[in-house]
Chains A and B, each alone.
Chain A
């Protein structure tokens, strides 16, 4: 793995300058709310995943959208991942500069600025993009030719999630044929994240849905290969389906991400990975029948995911019933038997970590309850934050 580039080391220096005074102190002494990652739990998750890889047919491509951390991405690469998966071109740029040399943007780019950025990035790493539209493929081809680079292409197949992705095997064949003919593009195979399975909490139901999704996915690959279009990559899986999909002999790579940092939502489906991410928060108001914490929906995002409760819980007080989540506050019912009082600092397990990660500036990295480092969150938020200009300036 290459060393991290200056944009990564500079960002690390920046957050250490901003929040580094917490290093060496207990996590309960930091300014709250703060996002905490337990390094030991993180490493245990990564090591467990690595230990399971030999029995799986597919290779591991670590997804980064749920943690947005170049540091965690490097740890994924050191623990069995051969490459990186990203949701946005901006995540891809950050992770390539963090040292990854193989990155899949498991998403459609479409926007001309983003296509240009992907084409420029492909000069310095193996960049693969999802496509489900002939027009998009043609525009990507033009961008790659213009940049003098080659973009790998996976035709995205809707395996049941009903988001992006071609709807029929015939449509996949048509898009793949066009990709094969276009200069600057390399037809690499298919992408088919079975995300609908990650919304199914019942183990048996989830397994049945996963099996059906992959049966269909392989059927699409068979059609392409029967028509002379090889699919060296068949990419799929999330944390909730990784061991099933990874055991399918036709699937070549897994694109899971939550396994590293985890959260309550994924823990319900895959408890072999432990919750490494939490927040420390302060009780700012204590009433007779309730308590109020200084962290709300602006920070942890939704209190449910697709109707499945994924609200935050106070560690050690998991039984407290939420009263309401506001923008800046979380209010829980608590009577006299609850000893928490104003000023108490508590651990807060976030229901669905990616929302919180998207909002914070940095992780407080903790070992044995003590802050040992500060890691930047990159990229932050939906805008490019200058990453587009960075590539153009080269």
Chain B
């Protein structure tokens, strides 16, 4: 792994400067809301995944869209990940500049600026992308030729999630041939996230669904190989299916991400991984039958959450407030701090600018969230300026 570029170190310096007074502070002395990262819990999660992948014939590609943290991504590589998976081109640029050589945008990339960004990034890192349409292949090829780079391409397979992706070998084969023939592109293999399995909480049903999905994915890979287009990479899995999919014959790598930070949804799927990210909030109003916190759906996101250490029923999440029901026996009062355990942490993370990294109950560092928000065209400008 290369050292982090100035893009990353400057962002780190910036958030340490903005939130520097918080360094060394105890949890309850922080301004709220704050995004807390429990460093020991994070390391424990990364260790569980590393142990689980030891001796397994597949490799681990850590998805970063859940945490958007160059620092966590580097730790994932230090714990055995061969590279990262990203949802956007902008995440890929950030992670390549964080020193990670193998970056895979596990998503369809459409639009001239974004394909150009990908092609420029491929000059400095091993860049891969998913496709499911000839239009995307042609656009990527033109961009790669113009940039003088080579982009690795994997065909996205719809394994039952019904989002992007081709649904059959017959659809995949002409796309694979087109990629193989396209200048500037390298046909690398197949990718197929069995995300529908992560909505199934019964483990046996989930594993059966994953098996069906992998049979489709690896079957398409065999079909392509029979036609002279072998798949070097067959990539799949999320945190809900990492263990069973990592052991499925014909799969070469898994792409989970939530295992690092975790949330309520994924704890329901795999409780071996613990809470590494929570949202710290303050009680700003105490009524007879409820408390009001200063973190609502603009902070924790649409899927809300529950309170750590307090078994209180949710009343409502508003934009800037969450409200929990209680009675006289609950001692929580105005000014008290509580931690929200998000049902789905990526929403919260995407709103925040930085993590407060906690160890032993105190802030030991501030880490930037990068890239923030949906639009990051400036990262393309940076590549075009040759910086």
- What residue of chain B has the Cβ atom nearest to residue A131's Cβ? B285
Residues of B within 8 Å of A285, CB to CB, are: 108, 132-133, 156, 163-165
Q: Indicate which residue in A33, A107, A162, A382 contacts B33 across the interface (CB closer than 8 Å).
A: A382
A-B contact pairs, 26 of them (CB 8 A): A31-B113, A108-B294, A108-B334, A111-B294, A133-B334, A135-B335, A162-B315, A163-B318, A164-B292, A282-B111, A284-B108, A292-B108, A294-B108, A298-B301, A298-B346, A301-B302, A302-B297, A324-B163, A354-B298, A361-B375, A380-B353, A383-B34, A383-B352, A384-B18, A385-B18, A388-B31
B 282-323 binary contact with A (CB < 8 Å = 1; else 0):
111111101010110111011000000000000110111101
Residues of B within 8 Å of A359, CB to CB, are: 350-351, 373-374
Residues of B within 8 Å of A338, CB to CB, are: none
> Cα distance A303–B377 when bound, in Å?
27
Q: Could you say which interface size class chain B belongs to?
A: 35 or more
A19 with B375, Cβ < 8 A, contacts A284-B108, A331-B163 known = yes
Is B351 touching A382 in the complex (CB atoms < 8 A)? yes
B 87-127 binary contact with A (CB < 8 Å = 1; else 0):
11000000000000000000111110110000000000000
> Which one of B88, B113, B302 has the greatest number of beta carbons of chain A within 10 Å?
B302
Of residues 127 through 152 on chain B, the ones whose CB sits less than 8 Å from some CB of chain A are: 132-133, 135-136, 139
- What residue of chain A has the Cβ atom nearest to residue B165's Cβ? A285
Of residues 133 through 175 on chain A, the ones whose CB sits less than 8 Å from some CB of chain B are: 133, 135-136, 158, 162-165, 167
Is A108 touching B285 in the complex (CB atoms < 8 A)? yes
Q: Quick check: is A355 within 8 A (CB to CB) of the other chain?
A: yes
Chain B: minimal CB distance from A156 (Å): 8
Chain B: minimal CB distance from A298 (Å): 5
Is B346 touching A163 in the complex (CB atoms < 8 A)? no
Q: Quick check: is A177 within 8 A (CB to CB) of the other chain?
A: no
Q: Quick check: is A195 within 8 A (CB to CB) of the other chain?
A: yes
Q: Quick check: is A110 within 8 A (CB to CB) of the other chain?
A: yes
Q: Could you say which interface size class chain A belongs to?
A: 35 or more
A163 with B323, Cβ < 8 A, contacts A299-B374, A362-B375, A383-B353 known = yes
Is B18 touching A389 in the complex (CB atoms < 8 A)? yes
Chain A: minimal CB distance from B344 (Å): 8
Is A382 touching B295 in the complex (CB atoms < 8 A)? yes
> Which one of A108, A303, A329 has the greatest number of beta carbons of chain B within 10 Å?
A108
Of residues 70 through 125 on chain A, the ones whose CB sits less than 8 Å from some CB of chain B are: 87-88, 107-111, 113-114
Residues of A within 8 Å of B109, CB to CB, are: 284
Residues of B within 8 Å of A386, CB to CB, are: 17-18
Q: Indicate which residue in A31, A35, A111 contacts B282 across the interface (CB closer than 8 Å).
A: A111
Is A109 touching B297 in the complex (CB atoms < 8 A)? no
Q: Indicate which residue in A31, A167, A292, A295 contacts B163 across the interface (CB closer than 8 Å).
A: A292
Residues of A within 8 Å of B195, CB to CB, are: 326
> Cα distance A354–B113 when bound, in Å?
27
A 332-357 binary contact with B (CB < 8 Å = 1; else 0):
00000000011101000000001100
Chain A: minimal CB distance from B37 (Å): 14
> Cα distance A298–B302 when bound, in Å?
9
Q: Quick check: is B358 within 8 A (CB to CB) of the other chain?
A: no
Q: Indicate which residue in A109, A303, A382 contacts B298 across the interface (CB closer than 8 Å).
A: A382
> Cα distance A136–B292 when bound, in Å?
14
Q: Indicate which residue in A114, A135, A343 contacts B334 across the interface (CB closer than 8 Å).
A: A135
Is A132 touching B285 in the complex (CB atoms < 8 A)? yes
Residues of A within 8 Å of B133, CB to CB, are: 285-286, 342
Q: Quick check: is A186 within 8 A (CB to CB) of the other chain?
A: no
Residues of B within 8 Å of A10, CB to CB, are: none
Q: Quick check: is A297 within 8 A (CB to CB) of the other chain?
A: yes
Is B162 touching A331 in the complex (CB atoms < 8 A)? yes
Beyond the given pairs A135-B334, A361-B373, 18 more chain A to chain B contacts, judged by CB atoms under 8 angstroms and listed by A's residue number, are A18-B381, A19-B378, A31-B380, A32-B111, A33-B374, A108-B294, A133-B286, A162-B290, A163-B321, A167-B287, A285-B163, A286-B133, A298-B347, A342-B108, A358-B351, A361-B375, A381-B353, A382-B35
Is B377 touching A18 in the complex (CB atoms < 8 A)? yes
Q: Quick check: is A267 within 8 A (CB to CB) of the other chain?
A: no
Of residues 46 through 77 on chain B, the ones whose CB sits less than 8 Å from some CB of chain A are: 65
Q: Quick check: is A65 within 8 A (CB to CB) of the other chain?
A: yes
> Which one of A162, A323, A331, A345 has the greatest number of beta carbons of chain B within 10 Å?
A162
Q: Quick check: is A272 within 8 A (CB to CB) of the other chain?
A: no
Q: Quick check: is B207 within 8 A (CB to CB) of the other chain?
A: no
Is B111 touching A324 in the complex (CB atoms < 8 A)? no
Residues of B within 8 Å of A33, CB to CB, are: 374-375
> Cα distance A113–B25 when bound, in Å?
13
Is A31 touching B352 in the complex (CB atoms < 8 A)? no
Q: Quick check: is A203 within 8 A (CB to CB) of the other chain?
A: no
- What residue of chain B has the Cβ atom nearest to residue A279's Cβ? B374
Residues of B within 8 Å of A54, CB to CB, are: none
Residues of B within 8 Å of A18, CB to CB, are: 377-378, 381
Is A283 touching B88 in the complex (CB atoms < 8 A)? no
Residues of B within 8 Å of A162, CB to CB, are: 290, 315-316, 323
Q: Indicate which residue in A34, A65, A294, A343 contacts B320 across the interface (CB closer than 8 Å).
A: A65
Q: Quick check: is A306 within 8 A (CB to CB) of the other chain?
A: yes
Chain B: minimal CB distance from A376 (Å): 12
Residues of B within 8 Å of A52, CB to CB, are: none
Q: Quick check: is A215 within 8 A (CB to CB) of the other chain?
A: no
Is B31 touching A114 in the complex (CB atoms < 8 A)? yes
> Cα distance A384–B35 when bound, in Å?
12
Q: Quick check: is B354 within 8 A (CB to CB) of the other chain?
A: yes
Is B65 touching A107 in the complex (CB atoms < 8 A)? no
Is A163 touching B108 in the complex (CB atoms < 8 A)? no
Is B65 touching A358 in the complex (CB atoms < 8 A)? no
Chain B: minimal CB distance from A31 (Å): 5
Q: Quick check: is B19 within 8 A (CB to CB) of the other chain?
A: yes
Q: Quick check: is B372 within 8 A (CB to CB) of the other chain?
A: yes
Is A327 touching B346 in the complex (CB atoms < 8 A)? yes
Q: Quick check: is A328 within 8 A (CB to CB) of the other chain?
A: yes
